[in-house]
Amino acid sequence: MEAVKPFNIHFRDLSDHSAARPLLVGPTVISVIHDNAANVTSAGGKLREEFGIANENCIIHTLNLIVDDAMVSYNDLIALQREVIGKIKMSASLKESLRRQCEVEGIAFRMPKMASKTRFMGNFDMFVRF
């Protein structure tokens, strides 16, 4: 198998808001797994064409999109739960009431978790935690 020539990928590290900087990718890169965003898929196609690097859509990301589509009929319930969790998080008295109610019921108190739209199974986590 012919070695793939090294190239630079410019990326932005959003965690520290730094400027884009090059990342050297050497001949050991044989595949890139990514989400289904059009710009990323297009970039993957260019990697394949120019450097022979395979690129695949992430199956977990695809599964998450399928689950999100299946939950469309629950959008009203999800919106209501997000609203309730938001109010609880912003109110010390509501948090304390929930904590006391958990004590009465003999349930360990766990702060309700707001779903992240970009996190895999975020709505599921929100429902389980609430």
105/18 Cα distance (integer angstroms)? 48
Which residue type occupies 13? D
Summarised one tens digit per residue, pLDDT across range 74-117 is 889 888 988 999 999 999 999 999 999 999 999 998 888 888 77
pLDDT in tens, 33-49: 777 788 888 888 888 88
Counting other chains too, the contacts that 78-82 makes at CB distance below 8 Å and 24 or more residues apart are 78/115, 78/123, 78/126, 81/126, 81/127, 81/130, 82/114, 82/115, 82/126
Tokens 């050497």 correspond to 26
Task: For residue 112, give the DSSP letter.
Answer: -
C-alpha distances in Å from residue 7, one per residue of 13, 24, 104, 117 = 19, 6, 61, 33
Q: Which pTM does this prediction carry?
A: 0.50
